[in-house]
Structure formats: structure tokens, C-alpha cells
């Protein structure tokens, strides 16, 4: 089992530049929690002292950032200098990730929404941006079964969100406070797109959500692609 501990310890050093610096400086305490042979311990100390360990640490962070930047790019850009603290807080709760794009991105989105709900993150724009990008992630990773529509039901390739900002201004990073619906649409086959629905469609959707759409409303929603 010793090699298990060695790999665990090396991966922990890669994920923790602080521990790597301690070991490099001669304080091997971060290795004490592992059941290592003397050869393995000497190897880890030697590795921590090599300049390439800095590259390993940077690559670890970069590889964990890629799913977030790829799938929550607008949210990350909006957070600006606050992104680092949010990412660190997220990673502190997800030390055992397998770094899969869908899983990692959805977990980050839920983490941010949780921070907003707890009022640890007080920025109403973030909640709307996360909602839009979370819907896009959801649509990007649909399975074949999830893409099949139930007749008369909601279109599985479309999400309708209620936001506090106009979605089109949000996507331009110039948010305008205006409560209303946003449509996130993957019917085109490429990347999902988000847009403000036509006012008549928005009114029909409000009636649909309230449970009382008329026949004309259903036809309108079907034509707009919101219903299958």
C-alpha cells in the first residue's frame, strides 16, 4: 500500500503550493500524515525542490480552471478580481473532484448560486449570469434520452429562465435591470444561444407556467420552440 500513499502525497503537493514550499524549505511536516518508506519520502523531498514542481502546481490550477472558464466564461469575467476568492472557496469544498467538465462546471454553478442565496456573494448580476450559463451547460451535455421530447411537453432543447436583468444586455456584459424571461436554446445544434423572447411569447409562457394557457398560446409556444 505504500505506493498508494506516495501517489496521494505527490498529488497533494501538486495541489498545494504552500505545502510544496514548506517541504522545499526543509519542513517535511506535510509528508508526516502519509505512510511512506524512506525512499519514497526522499523522493518527495527531492521533487519538491525541483523547479518543475512550480510548473506542476500551475498546471494543476490551470486544468481545474479550464472547465470553469470554458463553461462559465461570462460569470468568471464578471467576477473579475473576485474570481480567485470564489474559485478558492469552491475548491476548498471539492478537493476530491475528478475534473470532468460537466460535473465540475455544474458544481461551480451550484456553489455560486449557494453563495448568492446565503448572501455571501452580493451581486444580483452573478445570479442571473450563473442561471444562464448553468442552463447552457445543461443543454450542452444532454444524453440521447434527454433530448427526446414528450409530445406537448416542454422542449428538452430549450430552457426558459426568469431573470432580474435583460438577458441580451447581460450577455454583452452591460446588464440592464429589467425582470423578464430569457430563452436558452440549443435547437441550432451548435453552442446554445440565449435571447429575450418576443413579448407575446413571454406572455404566453407566463400563462403556461400559471397552468392556464389557451389553445392559441400553446400554438404560439410550439411555434417559438418552447413546447414540443
Partner 1 sequence: VSALGVGIVYNRALPRFLAECPDAVDYLAVTPETFWSDARTGDAPSRFRENAAAVAAFESLAVRLPVVAHGIALSIGTAAGIDMGHMGHLAQVGRWHERYGFDWYGEHLSYTRVESPDGAERHAGLALPVPYDADVLDTLDERVRLVGQVVAAPFLLENGTTYTTLPDEDMSEPAFLNALCARAGCHVLLDLHNLHANVVNGFVDADAYLGELDLDRVLEIHVAGGSMLAGMYTDAHSGPCPPEVWDLLDAVLPECPSVRGVAFEFVSGYYPALGADGVRAQLDRARTAWERHR
Binding site for partner 1 (CB under 8 A): 1, 3-8, 10-11, 14-15, 35, 39, 42-43, 46-47, 50-56, 58-61, 63-64, 95-103, 140-144, 146-147, 186, 189
Q: Which is nearer to partner 1, 84 or 147 (CB)?
A: 147
Q: In terms of CB distance, is 35 or 209 closer to partner 1?
A: 35
**Minimum distance, C-beta of residue 31 to partner 1, in the bound complex (Å):** 14
**Smaller CB distance to partner 1: residue 125 or 158?**
158
User: Bridge partners of 180?
Assistant: 163
Instruction: Name the minimum Å distance from CB 214 to partner 1.
Output: 34
Residue 203 C-beta: closest distance to partner 1, Å: 31
d(CA 83, CA 160): 27
Count H helices and E strands in the chain, helices first.
12, 3
8 Å CB contact between 150 and 125: no
Cβ atoms of 24 and 49 within 8 Å: the answer is: yes
Q: How distant, in Å, are the alpha carbons of 62, 170, 200, 206 from that of 214?
A: 51, 32, 13, 12
Q: Considering beta carbons, is residue 139 or 227 the nearer one to partner 1?
A: 139
Which cell is 171 given? 450577455
Nearest distance in Å: CB 57, partner 1: 9
Indicate the residue among 104 and 166 with the shorter CB distance to partner 1: 104
Q: Which of 143-149's residues contact partners 24+ apart within 8 Å by CB, and which partners?
A: 149/228
What secondary structure letter does DSSP report for 173? T
Instruction: Give min distance, CB of 195 to partner 1, in A.
Output: 19
User: What is d(CA 228, CA 222) in angstroms, rounded to the nearest whole number?
Assistant: 6
Amino acid at each position: 500500500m505504500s505506493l498508494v500513499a506516495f501517489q496521494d502525497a505527490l498529488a497533494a503537493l501538486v495541489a498545494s503550493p504552500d505545502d510544496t514550499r514548506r517541504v522545499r524549505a526543509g519542513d517535511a511536516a506535510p509528508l508526516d500524515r502519509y505512510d511512506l518508506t524512506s525512499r519514497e519520502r526522499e523522493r518527495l523531498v527531492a521533487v519538491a525542490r525541483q523547479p518543475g514542481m512550480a510548473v506542476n502546481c500551475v498546471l494543476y490550477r490551470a486544468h481545474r480552471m479550464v472547465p470553469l472558464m470554458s463553461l462559465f466564461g461570462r460569470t468568471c469575467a464578471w467576477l473579475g478580481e473576485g474570481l480567485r476568492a470564489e474559485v478558492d472557496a469552491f475548491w476548498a469544498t471539492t478537493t476530491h473532484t475528478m475534473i470532468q467538465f460537466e460535473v465540475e462546471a455544474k458544481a461551480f454553478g451550484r456553489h455560486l448560486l449557494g453563495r448568492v442565496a446565503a448572501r455571501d456573494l452580493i451581486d444580483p448580476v452573478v445570479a442571473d449570469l450563473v442561471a444562464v450559463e448553468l442552463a447552457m451547460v445543461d443543454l450542452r451535455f444532454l444524453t440521447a434520452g434527454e433530448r427526446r421530447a414528450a409530445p406537448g411537453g416542454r422542449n428538452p432543447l430549450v430552457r426558459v429562465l426568469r431573470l432580474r436583468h435583460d438577458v441580451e444586455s447581460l450577455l454583452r456584459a452591460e446588464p440592464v435591470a429589467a425582470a423578464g424571461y430569457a430563452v436558452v436554446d440549443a435547437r441550432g445544434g451548435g453552442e446554445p444561444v440565449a435571447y429575450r423572447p418576443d413579448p407575446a411569447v413571454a406572455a404566453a409562457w407566463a400563462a403556461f407556467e400559471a397552468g392556464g394557457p389557451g389553445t392559441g398560446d400553446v400554438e404560439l409556444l410550439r411555434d417559438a420552440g418552447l413546447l414540443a
